[in-house]
């Protein structure tokens, strides 16, 4: 397993980060049972993965609970455990979501209980919340850090200007601030290359891309209109599949065949080897799928292949708007 520094922290994390969004969701849809989740987690740790990402809103806490039970056997100390807050955690409480001082503190305490741990290595703000001044959020995070309940703080899906604002407000306040950003990044959506990624590289932020396969759209499964059981085959409220650039994906498939790679391997290897990227977040519902993804994150692509990819999917551009900028308390993240 290859390891990289998590931004400027010096903490070493595996080049593949295990995402646990499927843990606890309905297995008849795209989720995983606790038994299957444990099999995937065990296999990931056996393969050298030491970076695991979850969120309180995943299955309304069930993902964290599954992880908490699974890591009680003494493996917790070797894991860099990341979770998030922001998403709505109760339907009858208007304060049970967002980035307010109150909610960040309360959400962290609840996550610690579900994860059955005394500390969270990386506590991330799942989405920006423009109605709440960033100093309120940073003050809560710094209090949690000083109390030893979190080691580091990170952001997720912040715009470049929002991350920059948080960076300099933290300096003015004399607090640690964010050390990582977790953005959507894949061949169908390269917008972070314009401003966000250069900012993170300049100030040495760890970058942990989510959805490096664009929800499976870069696996090739949706090139076949008869696909069933995939994430967007049953429900696609944002209309991603309607805008899927099949002609470009067919060209990409030709490149992957030419170089002896699957579309999944090519797409994951491309993200993992981009300048400034720390660890793509990979999800898996089977050990086979997990193993293939971890191996792909450690591949090096020939420069000629990278150049050919750029001719199909232009740097800084996007073909599918994967992230809904209107995410709010009534919408499930990702």
For 44, residues 6+ apart whose C-beta sits below 8 A from its C-beta are 16, 18, 52, 290, 294
CA distance 334 to 196: 19
Which listed residue (58, 152, 205, 232) is catalytic? 58
Find the helix packing angle between 160-173 and 134-146, rounded to 10°: 60
CA distance 82 to 150: 10
Q: pLDDT of the chain along its 334 residues, tens only?
A: 999 999 999 999 999 999 999 999 888 777 899 999 999 999 999 999 999 999 999 999 999 999 999 998 889 999 999 999 999 999 999 999 999 999 999 999 999 999 999 999 999 999 999 999 999 999 999 999 999 999 999 999 999 999 999 999 999 999 999 999 999 999 999 999 999 999 999 999 999 999 999 989 999 888 776 554 555 555 555 566 777 899 999 999 999 999 999 999 999 999 999 999 999 999 999 999 999 999 999 999 999 999 999 999 999 999 987 665 444 443 434 3
In sequence order, the β-bridge partners of residue 150 are 120
State both tokens at 81.
Answer: 């455990």
What is the pLDDT at residue 235? 55
Whether 216 and 230 have beta carbons less than 8 Å apart is answered as yes
Which of 206, 186, 156 minimizes the C-alpha distance to 268?
186
Q: Which residue has the tokens 């970058």?
A: 207
What is the pLDDT at residue 330? 38
CA distance 156 to 151: 17
Q: Which domains does the chain have, with CATH numbers?
A: 3-312 (3.20.20.100)
Which of 130, 205, 132, 140 minimizes the C-alpha distance to 167?
205
What is the pLDDT at residue 73? 82
State both tokens at 260.
Answer: 């002896």
- Tell me the pTM: 0.92
Buried/exposed code over 287-317 (b: 16+ C-beta within 10 A; e: otherwise): beebebbbebbbeebeeebeebbeebbeeee
What is the pLDDT at residue 279? 98
Element housing 201 (H / E): helix 196-202
323 is catalytic: no
């Amino acid at each position: 397993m290859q390891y990289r520094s998590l931004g400027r922290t010096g903490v070493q994390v595996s080049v593949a980060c295990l995402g646990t969004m499927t843990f606890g969701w309905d297995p008849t849809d795209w989720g995983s049972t606790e038994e299957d989740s444990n099999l995937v987690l065990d296999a990931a740790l056996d393969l050298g993965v030491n970076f695991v990402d979850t969120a309180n809103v995943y299955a309304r806490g069930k993902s964290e609970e599954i992880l908490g039970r699974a890591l009680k056997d003494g493996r917790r100390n070797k894991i860099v455990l990341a979770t998030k807050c922001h998403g709505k955690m109760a339907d009858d409480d208007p304060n049970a979501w967002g980035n307010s001082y109150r909610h960040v503190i309360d959400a962290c305490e609840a996550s610690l209980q579900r994860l059955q741990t005394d500390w969270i290595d990386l506590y991330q703000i799942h989405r920006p919340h423009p109605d709440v001044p960033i100093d309120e959020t940073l003050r809560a995070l710094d209090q949690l850090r000083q109390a030893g309940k979190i080691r580091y703080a990170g952001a997720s899906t912040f715009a470049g200007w929002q991350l920059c604002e948080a960076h300099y407000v933290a300096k003015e306040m004399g607090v640690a601030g964010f050390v990582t950003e977790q953005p959507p990044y894949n061949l169908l959506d390269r917008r972070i290359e314009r401003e966000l990624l250069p900012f993170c590289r300049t100030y040495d932020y760890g970058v942990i891309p989510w959805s490096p396969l664009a929800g499976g759209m870069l696996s090739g499964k949706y090139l076949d209109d008869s696909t069933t059981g995939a994430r967007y085959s049953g429900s696609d409220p944002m209309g991603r599949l309607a805008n899927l650039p099949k002609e470009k994906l067919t060209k990409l498939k030709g490149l992957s065949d030419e170089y002896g790679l699957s579309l999944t391997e090519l797409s994951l290897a491309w993200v993992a080897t981009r300048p400034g990227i720390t660890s793509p977040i990979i999800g898996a519902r089977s050990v086979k799928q997990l193993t293939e993804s971890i191996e792909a994150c450690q591949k090096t692509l020939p420069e000629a292949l990278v150049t050919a990819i750029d001719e199909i999917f232009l740097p800084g551009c996007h073909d599918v708007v994967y992230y809904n900028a209107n995410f709010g308390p009534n919408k499930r993240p990702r």
